[in-house]
Amino acid sequence: MQTPQEEEAHDNTLPPAELDSAALTITDTCLTEARLLVAFNLNGDSHYVSTVLSAPEQEIGTVILKVPAPYRVMTALQAEDWPATEQCSRLPDVMGTWRWNELLYRTLVSLAPADCHCGVVVDILRHHELFVYYDDRGILNSVPIEHKPDSVRTVESFDCDELLTRMGQVLRELLAESGDPDRSVVFETGDSAAWGYPLVYADGSNGTVLPMQYNQTAPGGFATSGIVQTTRTVSHAITGQVHSFVAHPLSSLTRLFTLLGTTVADVLYPTPLLILQGTPIPPLNTGPGMDLQEWELELDRMTGTTASKGKLVFHVDGKKFFPRLVDLINQAQQSVFLRLYIFDNDDYATWFADFLKQRSEAVDIRVIIDGLGTIGASAATPETLPEDHSAPMSIKHYLQADSRVKVHMLNNPWFTGDHTKSIIIDKKVAFIGGMNIGREYRYNWHDLMTEVEGPVVNDILYEFEKTWTTGSFMGGVRTLFWQKKPPEHVDDGENYPVRVLYTKPGKSQILHAQVKAIRQARHQILLENAYLTSDRIIYELARARRRGVDVRVIIPYEIDYNIINRSNIIAANAMLKNGVRVYIYPGMSHVKAAIYDGWACLGSANFDNLSLRINKELNLATSATDAVNALKEQVFLPDMERSVELTEPLPDNWLDHLAELLADSM
């Protein structure tokens, strides 16, 4: 029996779903060895559905990866396909909407900290983000994350998988109250939304909780939208050439010569990876790594600059990064500057755009987006995008409509781009890494953003302001007379050395620094990147292993470009044959990070020719022990644990080799 206070708290914690307990009523259930079948009445009609309960698998060669999936899709059955009772191994019990809401409420109670000054972010099935906390009256509250009280601190963020895991633990307590904690049940949730989750299967014996989604035909209009976005991409690419050359003739020509020069060099001087495979692979070195003090001096000589100072905090995955970002934007007093490769137009991106528009009434919000990156991304559809989402055709226009948000969409001279991802709050705190604004980065992909404080933020700010000026009206002329000087580095005594490395036309600091680091390494190299197409990098990694260095590379099973998927097969086999330990990460990892004997380099740059020699990129680098150890413990060790290590080459064919040749130019 609930107390009145508990009833009030319960009402405050329900997610914004469309609840109608009379809409769907389960009439029968059946659990076979592999499938769950449910019969139900909906609006007077009988329906029969089936779903596979086992986790989906990804197979690449002899490697099989279990892929976490927070929900299952229901497939319609005909009445005559319903199995006989003797074919069912179990007949799960049915629990109604009230019991489902009770399970959700108890789960949120178990997640919320008792301290009224602390709260947690909870991802509800990748559709709603709630901030859950107790107020000073001891009542549990949940609000949309953008309405989080400033006086309450975020202490943890739970993604959908973690929510369902905790719900499975609470489930046994709920089932024990009715006699059997190990039984299986099907909940009616009351969710009648077109693409909602009306049923949830739960098994008390193993703590499984699986929401089940309708499998309906997608509404019309998507094909037309895709055609329009493709047309916009082509139009932007063509007109951008003219605009770039007129506004920035010198910069445009520099990019052209850089592009041509790298292409010619790759053709004339291919990397001879195969010649290494004829020599034995030596045992691992047992001595120390490279001298980091001498290495930092070498970087000073290579870049012509000295390291700045700062402090780094790593935010792994969207569940950690985006709640922190939203919190800081809510607290911003003066400005929010975003420089992104992609600002998508999916449901999360449009929610985030609305959030920025609302905040633009109080603070200066400026957004720089790459033209081809953003328009191209808007033509694609994330796998988990709600089917009823109506995407704006232009995110630039959407951001600017009825708001004070200022937006510059950059041109793409010679189809090159600005792949940088930097966000600066009040010119004091910055974020650098691999995440753009979109559903994939918030919910679907494994990724990394680094929070930065200290004088090094001034370096990042300087690059933003210079890019903003260049992208403004008459930017080319204004840049010639722009007298702003690079910031001086002032050490407050609490920071450690952090330097910014760039890829710009004619300046490949990120490439040269990492190639030199691979050559200098004596003990261990850890590297994680989805786009490992640079033959030069692969060659240097193979050479390092043949010097006795412990080289470990993590690449994802699933990549957003099929040509890179195929190319990575060839790269993985080449590294494996040269003694490099290769790990296949389940799903998509967008992390871009490496550690070379205690020196870390991470940011927006991939290990492909575009990132290393052509596009604009920004990475951070440090040899500070605490920061490097944190990166290893928070990213590399967990990712290797979750991955499957290759023990034999992957099967390949001529298409994979062709893809590798094409990817070399990307």
User: What value does the mean pLDDT take over residues 22-38?
Assistant: 85
How far apart are alpha carbons 665 and 101 in whole angstroms?
A: 54
Beta bridge partner(s), residue 448? 316
pLDDT at 20: 46
pLDDT at 19: 40
pLDDT at 64: 53
pLDDT > 60? residue 246? no
Give, for 102, the enclosing helix (H) or strand (E).
Answer: helix 97-111
User: What value does the mean pLDDT take over residues 48-57?
Assistant: 79
pLDDT > 60? residue 476? no
Q: Which two tokens stand for residue 508?
A: 């490949």
pTM tops 0.75, yes or no: yes
Q: Which two tokens stand for residue 496?
A: 């450690």
Decide if 266-316+499-666 and 318-444+456-489 have a common fold.
yes
Give, for 214, the enclosing helix (H) or strand (E).
Answer: none
pLDDT > 80? residue 369? yes
Hey, CA dihedral for 514, 519, 522, 525, is it positive or negative?
A: positive
pLDDT > 70? residue 32? yes
DSSP labels, 384-403 = T--TT----S-HHHHHHTTS
Nearest to 460 by CA among 473, 447, 451: 451
How far apart are alpha carbons 247 and 410 in whole angstroms?
A: 12
pLDDT at 2: 36
pLDDT at 350: 94
Work out the angle between the directed axes of helices 292-303 and 509-520 (0-180°, nearest 10). Answer: 150
pLDDT > 60? residue 400? yes
Locus of tokens 């033959």:
535
Work out the angle between the directed axes of helices 562-577 and 535-545 (0-180°, nearest 10). Answer: 20
Q: Residue 604 CB: number of other CB atoms within 10 A?
A: 27
Q: Give residue-wise pLDDT tens across range 189-228.
A: 888 776 678 899 999 998 889 988 866 443 333 333 455 5
Nearest to 236 by CA among 42, 401, 32, 394: 394
pLDDT > 70? residue 140? yes
pLDDT > 90? residue 77? no
Q: Residue 199 — φ and ψ, nearest 5°?
A: -130, 150
**Bridge-based pairing state of the strands 75-76 and 128-134:** unpaired
pLDDT at 560: 60
pLDDT > 70? residue 144? yes
Give, for 664, the enclosing helix (H) or strand (E).
Answer: none
For residues 231, 228, 368, 332, the Cα torsion angle rounded to the nearest 10 degrees is 180
State the DSSP code for 364. Answer: E
User: What value does the mean pLDDT take over residues 550-563?
Assistant: 81
Locus of tokens 């792949």:
419
pLDDT at 483: 56
pLDDT at 217: 43
Hey, CA dihedral for 213, 214, 217, 222, is it positive or negative?
A: negative
pLDDT > 70? residue 482? no
**AA identity, residue 285:** N
pLDDT at 5: 37
SS3 state of residue 507: strand
Which is more confident, 598 or 58? 598
How far apart are alpha carbons 381 and 501 in whole angstroms?
A: 33
pLDDT at 485: 56
How far apart are alpha carbons 326 and 354 in whole angstroms?
A: 12
pLDDT at 496: 96
pLDDT > 60? residue 666? no
pLDDT at 52: 85
Q: Which two tokens stand for residue 425?
A: 């709050």
Do 296 and 623 form a contact (C-beta atoms < 8 A)? yes
**Bridge-based pairing state of the strands 550-556 and 524-528:** parallel
Distance between first and last Cα of the chain: 63
For residues 340, 346, 350, 353, the Cα torsion angle rounded to the nearest 10 degrees is 0
Q: Which two tokens stand for residue 571?
A: 């790269």
Q: Residue 11 CB: number of other CB atoms within 10 A?
A: 10
pLDDT at 233: 58
Percentage of the chain beyond pLDDT 90 is: 53
Q: What are the Cα distances from residue 173, in Å, to 5, 166, 200? A: 21, 12, 17
The pLDDT-based confidence of 4 (bands split at 50, 70, 90) is very low
The pLDDT-based confidence of 616 (bands split at 50, 70, 90) is very high
User: What value does the mean pLDDT take over residues 542-563?
Assistant: 86
Q: Give residue-wise pLDDT tens across range 515-540.
A: 999 999 999 999 999 999 888 899 99
CATH class of 266-316+499-666: alpha beta
User: What value does the mean pLDDT take over residues 544-548?
Assistant: 95
Exposure b/e, 55-70, CB count within 10 A at least 16 = b: eeeeebeebebeeeeb
Which is more confident, 178 or 628? 628
Lowest-pLDDT range of 135-149, 369-383, 387-401, 475-489: 475-489
pLDDT > 70? residue 274? no
CATH 3.30.800.10 is held by the domain 318-444+456-489? no
User: What value does the mean pLDDT take over residues 556-576?
Assistant: 76
Nearest to 472 by CA among 408, 412, 404: 408
Do 642 and 585 form a contact (C-beta atoms < 8 A)? yes
User: What value does the mean pLDDT take over residues 603-629?
Assistant: 94
Q: Kindly report the CA angle at 592 between 588 and 594, in degrees rounded to 5? A: 125
SS3 state of residue 366: strand
Q: What are the Cα distances from residue 451, in Å, to 44, 62, 311, 322? A: 54, 39, 8, 12
pLDDT at 408: 94
How far apart are alpha carbons 526 and 289 in whole angstroms?
A: 13
The mean pLDDT of the chain is 83
The pLDDT-based confidence of 158 (bands split at 50, 70, 90) is very high
How far apart are alpha carbons 496 and 623 in whole angstroms?
A: 9
> Domain spans of the chain?
4-115+160-213, 266-316+499-666, 318-444+456-489
Locus of tokens 């226009």:
397
User: What value does the mean pLDDT take over residues 497-512?
Assistant: 93
User: What value does the mean pLDDT take over residues 350-362?
Assistant: 97
The pLDDT-based confidence of 649 (bands split at 50, 70, 90) is confident
Exposure b/e, 157-169, CB count within 10 A at least 16 = b: bbbbebbbbbbbe
pLDDT at 7: 36
pLDDT > 70? residue 459? yes
Give, for 455, the enclosing helix (H) or strand (E).
Answer: none
pLDDT > 60? residue 165? yes
User: What value does the mean pLDDT take over residues 398-403?
Assistant: 96
User: What value does the mean pLDDT take over residues 585-598?
Assistant: 95
Q: Which residues contact 361 (CB under 8 A, 6 or more apart)?
A: 403, 404
**Bridge-based pairing state of the strands 93-95 and 422-425:** unpaired
